[in-house]
Chains A and B, each alone.
Chain A
Amino acid sequence: MSYTVEGSTGAWEVVVGLEVHAQVVSESKLFSGAATAFGAEPNTQVSLVDAGFPGMLPVPNRECVAQAVRTGLGLGAEIHLWSRFDRKNYFYADLPQGYQISQYAHPVVGEGAVEIELADGARKRVGITRLHLEQDAGKSLHDQHPSKSYIDLNRSGVALMEIVSEPDMRSPEEAGAYLTKLRQIMRYLGTCDGNMDEGSLRADVNVSVRKPGEGFRTRCEVKNVNSIRFVMQAVEAEARRQVEVWEEGGTVRQETRLFDTARGVTRSMRSKEEAHDYRYFPDPDLPPLVLEQGWVEELKAALPELPDARRARYARDFGLSPYDAHVLVLEKETAAYFEEVAHGRDPKLAANWVMGDLFAALNRTRRGIENPPVSARDLGALLDLMGDGTLSGKLAKEVFEAMVETGQAPGAIVEERGLRQVTDTGAIEEAARAVLDGNAGKVAEYRGGKDKLFGFFVGQVMKAMAGKGNPALVNDVLKKLLG
């Protein structure tokens, strides 16, 4: 049942903890007014503060602090009303100040937890140790010139939240589920956009292995893994490596490693890069960060509904299955789409259409929920056309496909293509009589007790009406005429 790595000496348990670096969603950087937009030309979003010019001073960006507090609240964590910025000193070409400002000793957010859900439906609590604010460094570009490195300082000073978990995860799946959940919560909160391919979310993965029942063994840190899939692969690869080391009689050395995504293995970083003494000390340019309880309460009151609460509400108020509720809340954009469709309509029907026809259409058109081929409003209108009897279920599917193709509203398609279902009993009766008259033999057989011929008559009437007859009315009319 539980995940293990099989070695020659038996099963090994895996212990995983994550340090996640999440870029704060904010207009400007943590300590300067420079912009933070992704993908700008190199060195176009750099203030004198970010470039470490003489006499420049950091001023905390209140919105970045608010985002960290919101995230802490979203993780059910303790908010520290008193926290402090420290300097982490080291030299590197993309670190203009010669130090990174970070909350080493006194983070703004303390202990919290998230609940993860696994494929078998099991749930598990993963503890959060802390969350702190820090500056990102710039970027060194080593491939622009044969003998020089280029430096892009656009990222320099961008606010990051470092979220440290407890070593509570026991499998690649749990690590993946934890990161997925963290990303989901931050995206709901609007505190991190979670775009891993833009580097907005990166993870340092701490892995160790042990025999069941043992205490912790030495861990290694796999640095800067930038996708959920790679996190899962890195856990597995690093666990296997460590099992081999132990089983060959060796000792796992605490070190920093990199995940080689091409080869699927972890590699040791040069020890020179680890030999830093960071000489942390309180940043004398910044007074302690003191928050007012009232401000924290305001932020708390204004938090949006989070995925767990939303899922519970869907099950409770809408009667959705746990699975459907889970799927619909995974991305907040999906949930928002669903809620718009479900508003004032049958939520189960809405869920079926979103998870069935809409998801299929997204796949087919390779579009995302934030840019769907059919808007939530149009899908809602389609459900209304079914509700008032204008469209049968079968016609509705046809109309939906036309909506995907043309982007038109359902009403327009119905009018244009004359797809409105026929509810005029006179017209239906006329068609039914014609069918019965033309099939006198079958009518006799039916009356003789061959009940299943009823379906044949329904089919013939629908065919005669080009599929537009209201199925319920067709049934009623045939029963009357045959009865």
Chain B
Amino acid sequence: MTRPTDFTLRGALDALAAREISAEELARAHLDAIEALNPRLNAYVAVTGERALERARASDARRARGEAGPLEGVPLGIKDLFCTEGVRTTAGSRILGDFVPPYESTVTANLLRDGAVFLGKTNLDEFAMGSSNTTSAAGPVENPWNRRNDPDTRLVPGGSSGGSAAAVAARLALGATATDTGGSIRQPAAFCGIAGMKPTYGRCSRWGVVAFASSLDQAGPMARTVEDCATLLRSMSGFDPKDSTSADMPVPDFAAACGRSVKGLRIGVPCEYRLDGMPAEIEALWQQGLEWLREAGAETVEISLPHAKYALPTYYIVAPAEASSNLARYDGVRYGLRVEERDGDLQDLYERTRAAGFGAEVKRRIMIGTYVLSAGYYDAYYLKAQKVRALIKRDFDEVFAASGAKVDAIVTPATPSAAFGMDEKQDDPVAMYLNDVFTVTANLAGLPGLSVPAGLDTQGLPLGLQVIGRAFDEETVFAVGAALERAAAFEALPAVMAGKTARAAG
């Protein structure tokens, strides 16, 4: 019989439906795995075991009554950027102190509505700012994968959703919620050998998700298969009147789209994504992916996205600008950390609280953002970045145009490298920011982007391919992603995972 932690989400739902396993057993198996492995991986910042078991039992009762929801009994990890009612929420920062939200984010409430069981809150870069999950106040997350020839070097899981990615890869959850502002779902998914979907901006409500950059932030799922991502996304999605940027659009059956043929689809290959100095194995994997799609009946087309090369600098102006304003509310006055002032000086309260509460990377981005919005610099930085953003979006509009479309989806590498060591790139923020080079365009244009594990590099580390689609056409993205997944038949396993290490230890 399948070890409970080895189920895919789909497989677990089938087993639950067939009464081969109970939600309680499934939750307990994952909690045991977390207990065994989390001290090393640090993927969870909080484990809500009792609550999980209680909900699992309630889930079993619902199923027994014939009231099973679409995710009935599925144990999930929740990125600690989602506010969860009655459960401390930190955003990976000291500044939120012991903040316990009296409300549940719309996305997590949707998952609970559909029967999901939350195991705990997963680690992340502070305020979702980072690509290595090393900026968290709760400490770094370790990637469950190791280099074949260098097994002792601890690798980063990517970021900012590094805890969710590591948890899913190491079988500490069947799936997880994540958020993606510049690549924070897709890059860690690629680094950890799992699938991750950033849906169209507006598909998932942002209500109750701690904001980083409002015009770019979007919640999405992580899971070990494309179809599992699709199943989770369907539950997470939907119009929310509490979010003015939420889209009032019907939510299709994304999982059904995973079975669609890609025959006749036109797949765009943007020449601008062929970077100087990009590892040959990534280029090779990209070509392999395109070949798989051609074999499945799709047509590949060279396209140009001429403004893509400006995406990274544009992103690193827009995102910090919004962040500098979004993070102004963490001031020590109403909730979270407060470092008492001297001499009753309010300014002093702000300075002490924010100096103690924010980490270096968050401070750097607040300062960049404050600078680019300042009088005298606004036009040169923020306004110009907004104009370039419009051009980047126009590039996509042209290739995806409704009439005479050049392509139906775009396929690129997900990241410019495989996972790197925890001590690497930490002193050079620009080198770190380059991790997002392939992913930020989808955020700037508001488009769906899916990362699919497609192969290993020479060190045995996973590499991902990215599928970008039209706004609100996640179905085509899932279809292409599932086709890549089938062809790649990615079956490699991480060094650290539930069951496996237990054997090694025994």
Contacts and interface: CB of A to CB of B under 8 A. Distances in A.
Contact of A96 (B214, B241, B329, B370): B329
B288 to A, nearest CB: 38
B315 interface: no
Interface in B94-110: 96, 99, 101-103, 105
A48 B329 CA distance: 12
Interface string A43-71: 00000100111111111100000000000
A98 B209 contact: no
Interface in B31-88: 82-83
A55 B335 CA distance: 13
Given A93-B333, A277-B375, A55 B211 contact: yes
Given A54-B96, A55-B83, A57-B207, A287 B245 contact: yes
A147 B344 CA distance: 7
> Is chain B's interface secondary structure helix, strand, loop, or mixed overall?
loop
Contact of A54 (B89, B241, B331, B382): B89
A284 B335 CA distance: 24
B236 to A, nearest CB: 15
A147 B322 CA distance: 35
B206 interface: yes
Nearest to B205: A57
Contact of B325 (A55, A151, A281, A286): A281
Contacts of A56: 207-208
Given A93-B333, A96-B329, A98-B329, A55 B245 contact: no
A417 B38 CA distance: 95
Nearest to B241: A59
B80 to A, nearest CB: 11
A91 interface: yes
Nearest to B102: A48
A98 B103 contact: no
A319 B415 CA distance: 83
Contacts of A99: 325, 328
Contacts, number: 99
Interface in A431-470: none
B96 A281 contact: no
A98 B207 contact: no
B373 interface: yes
Contact of B378 (A59, A281, A287): A281
A278 B59 CA distance: 50
B174 interface: no
Nearest to A90: B328
A54 B333 CA distance: 13
Contacts of B329: 52-54, 96-98
B350 interface: yes
Contact of B382 (A52, A98, A281, A285): A281
A55 B328 contact: no
A87 B331 CA distance: 17
A96 B334 CA distance: 8
Contacts of B322: 284
B128 interface: no
A279 interface: yes
Interface string B232-251: 00000000011111000000
A62 B421 CA distance: 52
Given A54-B99, A55-B105, A98-B331, A91 B214 contact: no
B182 to A, nearest CB: 14
Task: Output the residue of B210, B244, B344 with the most chain A CB within 10 A.
Answer: B244
Contacts of A285: 211, 214, 244-245
A148 interface: yes
Interface in A120-177: 147-149, 151
Interface residues of B, number: 45
A52 B336 CA distance: 12
Contacts of B215: 284
A59 B209 CA distance: 16
Nearest to A51: B334
Contact of A287 (B211, B244, B374): B244
A147 B213 CA distance: 37
Nearest to B81: A55
A195 interface: no
Contacts of A58: 244
> Is chain A's interface secondary structure helix, strand, loop, or mixed overall?
loop
Contacts of B209: 55
A336 to B, nearest CB: 38
Contacts of B242: 57, 59
Given A279-B370, A284-B214, A285-B214, A52 B334 contact: yes
Contacts of A93: 331, 333, 346
Contacts of B206: 55, 57
A89 interface: yes
Task: Output the residue of A55, A60, A280 with the most chain B CB within 10 A.
Answer: A55
B91 interface: yes
A55 B103 CA distance: 10
A53 B100 CA distance: 11
Nearest to B369: A279
Contacts of B269: none
Given A48-B103, A93-B333, A96-B334, A55 B210 contact: yes
A89 B374 contact: no
Contacts of B129: none
Given A57-B206, A99-B325, A285-B244, A279 B91 contact: no
A53 B333 contact: no
B117 interface: no
A430 B244 CA distance: 86
A89 B207 contact: no
B362 interface: no
Given A54-B83, A96-B333, A277-B375, A89 B346 contact: no
A284 B382 CA distance: 13
A97 B206 CA distance: 17
B321 interface: yes
A279 B207 contact: no
Interface in A99-130: 99
Contact of A151 (B210, B333, B335): B333
A330 to B, nearest CB: 41
A148 B344 contact: yes
A54 B101 contact: yes
Interface in B331-379: 331, 333-335, 344, 346-347, 350, 370, 373-375, 378
Nearest to A94: B333
Given A279-B370, A284-B213, A54 B244 contact: no
Interface in B305-342: 321-322, 324-325, 327-329, 331, 333-335
A474 B99 CA distance: 90
Interface in A341-367: none
Contacts of B335: 53
Contacts of B374: 277, 279
A284 B211 CA distance: 11
Contacts of B83: 54-55
A306 to B, nearest CB: 33
Task: Output the residue of A56, A281, A286, A287 with the most chain B CB within 10 A.
Answer: A281
A286 B246 CA distance: 10
Contacts of B82: 55
A179 B407 CA distance: 61
B96 A286 contact: no
B350 to A, nearest CB: 6
Interface in A284-331: 284-287
13 contacts: A55-B101, A56-B208, A57-B242, A59-B244, A60-B244, A98-B325, A99-B325, A147-B344, A149-B346, A279-B373, A279-B378, A280-B373, A287-B244
The 5 A-B residue pairs whose C-beta atoms are closest, nearest first, are A98-B328, A284-B214, A279-B373, A284-B215, A52-B329
Given A53-B334, A59-B244, 20 more contacts: A52-B334, A53-B329, A55-B101, A55-B206, A55-B209, A56-B207, A57-B206, A58-B244, A59-B242, A87-B325, A89-B328, A98-B331, A147-B344, A277-B375, A279-B325, A279-B373, A284-B213, A284-B215, A285-B214, A287-B245
